[in-house]
């Protein structure tokens, strides 16, 4: 099983079950939940099914491309189902079978793991899904996003692509995974995860642990914050303002990886990000309600039931 | 006895968090029993079942219907209801109409409290069928369960612990008809997921008694104790097969029994190279991350083997073993990374970093705390006459592991890692052991620090926390003790008590309070008063933990508790007399003495020459011996022998007699006796 084959299978599976196939959002972020397809998609009453791959950056997890299990950046496959269907666990199990897991021979468990994203004002309850003792997915029923109750509730499924791929292939080192195969006139060349990503891991780890200019990052944090509030307050633009909040969040993660944020400062910094994301969520919902209230003709291409 | 039947209710959910299973199971059972008692007037037992996806209860012996209830209604006087011929008039007819009975069922009787005969009807209220009552009550009882972290799902507003996917509810062979958030109760349920891969339909349960057998056939052992027993058996067997014995962890076994439906233990191995990690790291990492037991040999050394639970009966292709081994390698790789990284810097060099780690907002950083612990432990060592040479070093090092990667990952390894790192830095055994032990005791029956320095450090650390928090008004009340101060206080008391260290808890708390200095937000006098009550409760609890009988504890404590060495000696001595009838008599006499002296002002010293009766002269003669004997056992023997003479005294002598000088002498005698008693115990509390 190759990385790209796994992604393609999951995308095909969820497209066949009535999901839009989204794309990663082109800003640094710590988790697929931060993609606006999820953050805003989970708000308001519209039905919304979407699946996409999201590269997720965790500066503190960087290991210079030397640790076989931990990386600065990994791939998440994110699925949002709103409202959460009654068969959601069964659907998930079918997706494992689509990946080639024969559950007659494996041990599958759903163990409590409640999820909370303080910078997004979001929390939910759910499980980490364990296959033969390894966590392969997070499964969450969103209760709140952007500080607002989710009505209806979305189910979020997050697959750790590299982990699942390692598990399925029995490969002990993430960099030994095969990303895919390149076919040329001269033959077929398998390309490893190492080739695609190791240098990136090295440089990004070095950046977060050594080279990042902390003073600059503190200034950027402030600047993104001001920019975000300006966009939201002066223009009511919740999407561009939300981008600023995402940048704040990543900037904070870089500072945090360097140990530049003290435990006492931490909650305050997180709150500053949360204040902006929650304000964006409120603006989105207000805008959404206005649009819903408009006559059909003016709605343009809306979601149809 | 009327006909009875069994009720079976099962709520089938998506996986319920293990920690909620037992509380929800018990709460529903209590609520249901209250309902049964109220509506059906029977006292019954509930069988409780739960598994990751199921909460179920079975109650045997429920009557099929409520008993009929009769009630009597009294109406107007007879003279207003019938005429002289006994024919009904309007008032009488109306009364019958009101209660819906023909007039010939109206009787005329003189009820209690009435002066004349009145119209009376007896109404029979038919008892309702239990099936109907259940259909009404069960959805209400389920919906009103207290769910600590309730969730919504789909488009519904209904809240429960996890989404409800099926309801099974049988009263005998009848389905109890009710619906809860769009799920309608029926007579079938779902077994293990593995089972349903070949059986796509739910399995029918023919009756409440068949429940466990039907589920067992469908791959679910629905009794949690049964699952635990099966797991325990396999753990023992497989550990032996791996050439050792399991590193016992009852809590882990509880957890495993709660997270599987088909209880199976899988044995695996990890690379031997990881055995260079400290044992505690391996045990904790395996238990925390992989819910796995370690296996050790007869010498207590770990083997490169582990045991964990699976939720299926077998491992046909070895995937479970290899999967768990794979994950464990990744986890241990991480643990070794943390361990190697942490060791790149000597532990003590991290003390600067503690300046940025808040202990408590008002009380400053952990660095500040270690400074206070250093001063305090020095003072404690010198008052105990112990060597405090390394006290300062140990105090400064003891919190440094809080900023290591390993403790960041496994907070429960605090202290243990600090000790391990110091040991590997070739620190003196006294030093690393003290650091390693200073969080002890971790539980009421966990070990206390074995080394002197460890004990002193443990007391200084906990005392600083307790005194500091009291000084800023963070005092535990009722069930609220978020900072676990009672546990800390208990730890201090237990160490002093068991080590036999003669330190007055209040005196050392005052010392700790001085260290807190101007960080305190309330007056020292108030803090010390609060600490006095706090420590007295801790000492009382300690006596209970130590197993002394109630009369011994109560009476010994009341005669003074701040000298713990003396208190312990008195309790030991008193325990020998716990069942001695003479002490019962002594207790009676002590009470009488207390009552007599209660309202008396202190009088002159005893003038034995004034005493007249032989019974009182005997007592006076015994006094001096009582007051001078040093040995607790001999004192108690003397007191026991005093029981008879005291009884005789009270039978023969009237203390508050008319003659003032005699009366004063007798009161003085009693005062001296009371004083002698209180050297060991307040016997008036000996009951």
Q: What ipTM is given for this predicted complex?
A: 0.91
**Could you identify the residue written with the tokens 């914050």?**
A225
Residues 168-207 of B with CB under 8 A from A: 193-194, 197
Confidence band (pLDDT; 50, 70, 90) for A264? low
State which of B166-170, B473-477, B622-626 shows the largest mean pLDDT: B166-170
At residue A15, does pLDDT exceed 70?
yes
User: Who has greater pLDDT, A297 or B394?
Assistant: B394
Task: Indicate whether B244 and B290 sit together in one domain.
Answer: yes
- Would an 8 Å CB–CB cutoff place B319 in contact with chain A? yes
Residues of A in contact with B356 (CB under 8 A): 262-264
Residue B336's H or E segment, with its range, is: helix B319-342
- For residue A147, give the nearest of A229, A42, A226 by alpha carbon: A42
Tokens (6 digits) for B558: 């009341």
Q: Rounded to whole angstroms, what are the CA distances from B479 to A290, B475, B541?
A: 49, 11, 16
Interface test with A, best of B263, B326, B341 (most A CBs within 10 A): B326
Q: How many residues does chain A have?
A: 305
Stretch B650-658: mean pLDDT: 85
In this prediction, residues B377-386 reach a mean pLDDT of: 89
Is A299 a residue whose pLDDT tops 60? no
Under 8 Å CB-to-CB from A6, ≥6 apart: which residues? A99, A161, A164, A165, A168
What's the pLDDT band for B289 if we cut at 50, 70, 90? Answer: confident
CATH superfamily of the A212-299 domain: Class II aaRS and biotin synthetases; domain 2 (1.20.58.180)
Contact status, residue B683 vs residue B590, Cβ threshold 8 Å:
yes
Element spanning A189, H or E:
strand A187-192
What's the mean pLDDT in A144-166? 96
Whole-angstrom distance, CA of residue B324 vs CA of residue B267: 9
* Confidence band of A263 (pLDDT split at 50, 70, 90): low
Q: Locate tokens 């002890």: which residue?
A: B440
The residue of B20, B24, B148, B153 whose CB has the most chain A CBs within 10 angstroms, and thus the best one to mutate to test that interface, is: B153
Residues B539 and B442 in one domain: yes
Between CA B430 and CA B495 the distance in angstroms is 18
For residue B334, the chain A residues in CB contact (below 8 A) are: 69-70
3 state DSSP class of B74: strand
Q: In terms of DSSP bridges, do strands B292-296 and B164-171 run parallel, antiparallel, or are they unpaired?
A: unpaired
B197: nearest CA partner in chain A: A104
Q: How far is CA B686 from CA A190, B566, B577, B594, in A?
A: 86, 19, 11, 13
Min Cα separation B161/chain A (Å): 9
**A108 contacts in B (CB within 8 Å)?**
193, 311
Q: Are B676 and B626 in contact (CB under 8 A)?
A: yes
Interface test with A, best of B53, B269, B319 (most A CBs within 10 A): B319
Question: What's the gap in Å between the CA of B368 and the closest CA on chain A?
Answer: 15
Quick check: is B631 in a domain? yes
Residues B324 and B378 in one domain: no
Using CB atoms, which residue from B149, B319, B357 is nearest to A263? B357
Nearest CA in chain A to B325: A133
Nearest CA in chain B to A151: B155
> pTM for the whole thing?
0.78
Closest chain A residue by Cα to residue B313: A107
Note the pLDDT tens digit of each residue in B483-512.
Answer: 889 999 999 999 999 999 999 999 999 999
Q: Kindly report, residue by residue over B195-211, the tens digit of the pLDDT.
A: 999 999 999 999 999 99
pLDDT band at B687 (very low <50, low <70, confident <90, very high): confident
DSSP, collapsed to helix, strand or coil, labels residue B388 as: coil
Query: Element (H or E) spanning B10, and its range?
Result: strand B4-13
B579 vs B273, residue with greater confidence: B273
Q: Given A68, A104, A263, which is nearest B333 (Cβ)?
A: A68
Read off the tokens for B88: 């009904």
How sure is the predictor about A295, in pLDDT bands with cuts at 50, 70 and 90? low
**A16-62: pLDDT as tens digits:** 999 999 999 999 999 999 999 999 999 999 999 999 999 999 999 99
Q: Is the pLDDT score of B681 beyond 90?
A: no
Angle at B286 between CA B285 and CA B292, to 5 degrees: 155
Nearest C-alpha of chain A: how many angstroms from B324? Answer: 5
User: Is domain A3-201 annotated with CATH 3.30.70.1290?
Assistant: no
> What are the counts of helices (DSSP H) followed by strands (DSSP E) for chain A?
9, 11
For B567-617, write each residue's pLDDT tens digit: 998 898 888 887 888 888 888 888 888 888 888 888 888 888 888 888 888
> How many angstroms separate the CA atoms of B575 and B565, rounded?
15
Judged by a CB distance cut-off of 8 A, whether residue B525 touches chain A is no
The token pair that represents B289 in the structure block: 């991350």
Helices (H) and strands (E) in chain B, counts: 25, 18
Please report, for the domain that includes residue B579, its CATH number: 1.10.730.10
- Supply A109's token pair: 């468990």
Closest to A111 (Cα-Cα) out of B197, B24, B256, B189:
B256
Residue B324 belongs to what domain range? 224-342
Contact B466, B511 (CB under 8 A): no
Closest CA in chain B for residue A60: B405
Task: Judge whether B353 lies within some domain.
Answer: no
Taking an 8 Å cut-off on Cβ atoms, the answer to whether A105 and B308 are in contact is no
Q: Which of B46, B64, B176 is nearest to B130 (CA)?
A: B64
In which band, very low, low, confident or very high, does the pLDDT at B304 lie, cut at 50, 70 and 90?
very high
In angstroms, the separation between the Cα of residue B319 and the nearest Cα of chain A is 6
Which residue reads 């067992």 in tokens? B216
Query: In chain A, which segments carry CATH 3.30.930.10?
Result: 3-201
Burial B398-435 (b: 16+ CB within 10 A, else e): bbbbbbbbbbebbeebbbbbbbbbbbeeebeebbbbbb
Q: Write out the two tokens for B602.
A: 């202190």
Provide the number of structural domains found in chain B: 5
What mean pLDDT is predicted for residues B178-198?
Answer: 95
Cα of A297 to nearest chain B Cα, Å: 27
- State the Cα–Cα distance between residues B203 and B216, nearest whole angstrom: 11
Contact A134 B193 (CB under 8 A): no
Q: DSSP of B529-565, one letter per residue?
A: HHHHHHHHHHHHHHHHHTT--HHHHHHHHHT--S-HH
A124-149 average pLDDT score:
95
Is A141–B151 a contact, with Cβ atoms under 8 angstroms apart? yes
User: Average pLDDT in the B13-28 region?
Assistant: 95
Give A191's strand partners. Answer: A180
CA-based nearest residue in chain B for residue A169: B323
- Top-confidence range, B35-39, B123-127, B217-221, B359-363: B217-221
The predicted structure's pLDDT at residue A304 = 45
The answer for B 327-346 residues in CB contact with A (under 8 A) is 327-330, 333-334, 337
Look up tokens 């001001």; give the residue. A226
Same domain, B314 and B211: no
Co-location of B300 and B184 in the same domain: no
Residues B74 and B46 in one domain: no
Task: Give the position of tokens 């031997």.
Answer: B272
Instruction: With CB atoms and an 8 Å threshold, state whether A264 touches B308.
Output: no
pLDDT of residue B357: 83
Say which DSSP state B477 is in.
Answer: B
Query: Considering the domain boundaries, does residue B360 fall inside one?
Result: no
Shared-domain flag, residues B141 and B209: yes
Let me know: does B197 contact B230? Beta carbons within 8 Å.
no
Smallest Cβ–Cβ distance between A132 and the set B151, B165, B320 belongs to: B320
Q: Under an 8 A CB cutoff, do A172 and B329 touch?
A: yes
Q: How far is A133 from chain B (nearest CA, A)?
A: 5
Sign of the alpha-carbon torsion through B249, B254, B256, B262: positive
Contact B327 A134 (CB under 8 A): yes
Comparing B326 with B170, the larger pLDDT belongs to B170
Terminal C-alpha separation, chain A: 37
Domain match, B315 and B425 both: no
- CA dist A106 to A64, A99, A168, B91, Å? 33, 13, 11, 81
Please report where in the chains the tokens 């045997």 appear, as a residue: B60
Q: What is the Cα–Cα distance from A35 to A58, expressed in whole angstroms?
A: 15
Element containing residue B71 per DSSP (H, E): strand B69-77
Q: How far apart are CA B472 and CA B484, in angstroms?
A: 15
CA distance B383 to A39: 62
Q: Which of B457, B377, B681 is nearest to B553 (CA)?
A: B681
Q: Within 13 Å and on the Cβ side, how many CA atoms surround A259? A: 10
A291: left (phi over 0), alpha (psi -120 to 50) or beta: alpha
Residues of A in contact with B326 (CB under 8 A): 134, 166-167, 170, 172
Same domain assignment for residues B166 and B244: no
Do both B83 and B202 map to the same domain?
Answer: no
Residue A298 has pLDDT above 80, yes or no: no
Is-cis flag, bond preceding A83, omega within 30? Answer: yes
Cis check for the bond before B224: say yes or no (omega within 30 of 0): no
**Pairwise CA distance, residues A85 & B88, whole Å:** 68
Helix axes B524-545, B550-558, angle to 10 degrees: 150
3-state secondary structure of B267: strand
Instruction: Tell me the angle at which helices B524-545 and B485-499 cross, rounded to the nearest 10 degrees.
Output: 60
Cβ-defined contact of A103 to B193 (cutoff 8 Å)? yes
Instruction: Enter the tokens of residue B65.
Output: 């219907």
Position B651 in a domain: yes
CB B263 within 8 A of CB B231: yes
Examine the domain organization and report whether B111 and B146 are in the same domain.
no
Do B151 and A143 count as a contact with CB atoms less than 8 A apart?
Answer: yes
The residue out of B169, B187, B215 marking a domain boundary is B215
Tell me how close the Cα of A227 comes to any Cα of chain B, in angstroms.
31
pLDDT in tens, B120-162: 998 888 899 999 999 999 999 999 999 988 999 999 999 999 9
Are A112 and B15 in contact (CB < 8 Å)? yes
Q: Of B215, B241, B259, at which residue does a domain stop? A: B215
- Is residue B666 included in any domain, yes or no? yes
SS3 B139: helix
| Six-digit token string for B187 | 């007579």
Same domain, B616 and B678: yes
Q: Which residue stretches of chain A are H helix?
A: 3-16, 36-39, 88-99, 161-169, 193-206, 214-235, 238-257, 266-293, 296-299
Stretch B643-658: mean pLDDT: 86
First to last CA, chain B: 46
Task: Phi first, then psi: give them for residue B268, nearest 5 degrees.
Answer: -145, 180
B154, B323, B328 member nearest A131 (Cβ): B323
Residue A262: closest C-alpha in chain B: B356
Query: A70 contacts in B (CB within 8 Å)?
Result: 334
Cα torsion through A176, A182, A187, A188, rounded to 10: 40
Mean predicted lDDT score pLDDT of chain B: 91
Which residue of B15, B151, B308 is in closest CB contact with A110? B15
Lookup: tokens for B439: 């969080």
DSSP SS3 for B609: helix
For chain A, residues classed under CATH 1.20.58.180 are 212-299
Contact A89 B316 (CB under 8 A): no
Q: From the centroid of its chain, how far is CA B235?
A: 28
Q: State residue B207's pLDDT score.
A: 96
Q: Which pLDDT value is given to residue B483? A: 84
Token pair 């202290």 is found at: B415
């Amino acid at each position: 099983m190759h990385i790209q084959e796994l992604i393609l299978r999951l995308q095909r599976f969820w497209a066949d079950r009535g999901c839009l196939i989204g794309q990663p959002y082109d800003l640094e972020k710590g988790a697929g939940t931060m993609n606006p397809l999820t953050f805003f998609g989970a708000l308001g009453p519209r039905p919304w099914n979407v699946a996409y791959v999201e590269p997720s950056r965790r500066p503190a997890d960087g290991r210079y491309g030397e640790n076989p299990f931990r990386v600065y950046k990994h791939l998440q496959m994110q699925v949002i189902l709103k409202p959460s269907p009654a068969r959601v666990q069964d659907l998930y199990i079918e997706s494992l079978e689509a990946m080639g897991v024969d559950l007659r021979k494996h041990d599958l468990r759903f163990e409590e793991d409640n999820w909370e994203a303080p910078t997004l004002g979001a929390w939910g309850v759910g499980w980490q899904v364990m296959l033969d003792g390894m966590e392969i997915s997070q499964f969450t029923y969103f209760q709140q996003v952007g500080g607002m109750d989710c009505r209806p509730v979305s189910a979020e499924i997050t697959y750790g692509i590299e982990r699942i791929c390692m598990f399925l292939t029995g490969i002990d080192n993430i960099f030994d995974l095969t990303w895919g195969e390149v076919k040329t006139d001269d033959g077929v060349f398998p390309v490893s995860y190492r080739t695609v990503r190791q240098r990136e891991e090295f440089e990004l780890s070095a950046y977060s642990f050594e080279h990042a200019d902390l003073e600059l990052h503190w200034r950027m944090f402030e600047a993104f914050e001001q920019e975000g509030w300006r966009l939201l307050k002066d223009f009511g633009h919740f999407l561009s303002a939300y981008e600023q909040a995402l940048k704040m969040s990543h900037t904070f993660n870089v500072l945090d990886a360097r140990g530049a944020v003290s435990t006492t400062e931490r909650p305050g910094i997180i709150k500053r990000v949360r204040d902006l994301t929650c304000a964006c969520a409120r603006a989105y919902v207000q805008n959404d309600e206005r649009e819903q209230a408009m006559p059909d003709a003016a709605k343009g291409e809306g979601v149809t039931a | 006895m009327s006909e009875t039947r069994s009720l079976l209710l099962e709520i089938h959910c998506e996986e319920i968090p293990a920690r909620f299973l037992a509380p929800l199971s018990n709460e529903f059972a209590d609520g249901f029993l209250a309902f049964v008692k109220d509506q059906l007037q029977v006292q019954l037992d509930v069988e409780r079942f739960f598994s990751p996806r199921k909460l179920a209860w079975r109650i045997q012996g429920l009557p099929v219907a409520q008993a009929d209830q009769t009630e009597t209604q009294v109406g107007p006087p007879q003279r207003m209801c019938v005429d002289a011929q006994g024919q009904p008039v309007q008032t009488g007819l109306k009364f019958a109409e009101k209660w819906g009975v023909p007039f010939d069922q109206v009787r005329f009787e003189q009820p209690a409290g009435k002066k004349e005969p009145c119209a009376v009807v007896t109404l029979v209220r038919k008892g309702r069928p239990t099936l109907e009552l259940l259909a009404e009550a069960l959805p209400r009882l389920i919906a009103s369960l207290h769910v600590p972290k309730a969730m919504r799902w789909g488009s519904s507003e209904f809240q429960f612990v996890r989404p409800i996917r099926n309801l099974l509810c049988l009263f005998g062979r009848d389905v109890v008809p009710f619906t809860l958030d769009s799920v309608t109760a029926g007579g079938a349920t779902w077994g293990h997921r593995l089972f349903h891969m070949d059986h796509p339909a739910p399995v029918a349960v023919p009756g409440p008694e068949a429940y466990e057998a039907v589920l067992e056939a469908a791959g679910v052992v629905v009794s949690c104790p049964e699952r635990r027993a099966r797991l325990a058996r396999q753990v023992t067997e497989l550990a032996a097969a791996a050439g050792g014995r399991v590193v016992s962890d009852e809590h882990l076994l509880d957890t495993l029994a709660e997270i599987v439906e088909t209880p199976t233990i899988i044995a695996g191995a990890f690379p031997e190279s990881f055995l260079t990690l400290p044992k505690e790291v391996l045990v904790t990492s395996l238990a925390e991350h992989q819910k796995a037991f370690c296996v050790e040999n007869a010498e207590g050394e770990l083997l490169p083997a582990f045991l964990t639970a699976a939720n299926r009966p077998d491992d046909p292709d070895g995937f479970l073993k290899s999967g768990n081994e794979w994950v464990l390698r990744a986890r241990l790789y991480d643990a070794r990374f943390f361990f190697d990284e942490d060791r790149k810097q000597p532990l003590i060099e991290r003390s600067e970093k503690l300046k940025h780690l808040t202990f408590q907002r008002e009380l400053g950083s952990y660095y500040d705390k270690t400074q206070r612990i250093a001063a305090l432990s020095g003072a404690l060592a010198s008052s105990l006459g112990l060597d405090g040479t390394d006290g300062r070093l140990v105090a400064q090092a003891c919190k440094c592991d809080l900023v290591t990667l390993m403790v960041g990952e496994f907070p429960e390894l605090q202290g243990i890692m600090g000790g391990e790192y110091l040991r590997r830095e070739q620190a003196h055994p006294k030093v690393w052991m003290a650091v390693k032990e200073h969080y002890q005791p971790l539980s009421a029956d966990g070990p206390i620090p074995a080394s002197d320095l460890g004990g002193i450090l443990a007391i200084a650390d906990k005392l600083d926390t307790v005194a500091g928090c009291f000084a800023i008004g963070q005092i535990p009340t009722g069930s609220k003790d978020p900072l676990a101060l009672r546990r800390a206080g208990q730890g201090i008391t237990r160490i002093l008590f068991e080590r036999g260290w003669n330190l007055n808890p209040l005196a050392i708390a005052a010392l700790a309070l001085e260290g807190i200095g101007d960080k305190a937000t309330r007056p020292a006098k108030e803090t010390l008063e609060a600490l006095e009550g706090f420590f007295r409760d801790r000492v009382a609890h300690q006596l209970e933990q130590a197993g002394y009988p109630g009369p011994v504890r109560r009476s010994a404590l009341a005669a003074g508790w701040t000298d713990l060495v003396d208190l312990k000696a008195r309790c030991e001595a008193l325990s020998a007399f716990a069942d001695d009838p003479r002490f019962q008599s002594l207790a009676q006499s002590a009470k009488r003495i207390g009552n007599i002296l209660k309202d008396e002002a202190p009088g002159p010293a005893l003038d034995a020459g004034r005493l007249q009766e032989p019974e009182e002269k005997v007592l006076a003669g015994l006094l001096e011996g009582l007051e001078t004997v040093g040995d607790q056992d001999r004192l108690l023997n003397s007191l026991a022998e005093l029981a008879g003479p005291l009884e005789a005294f009270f039978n023969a002598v009237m203390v508050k007699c008319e003659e003032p000088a005699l009366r004063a002498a007798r009161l003085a005698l009693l005062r001296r006796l009371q004083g002698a008693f209180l050297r060991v115990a307040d016997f008036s509390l000996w009951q």
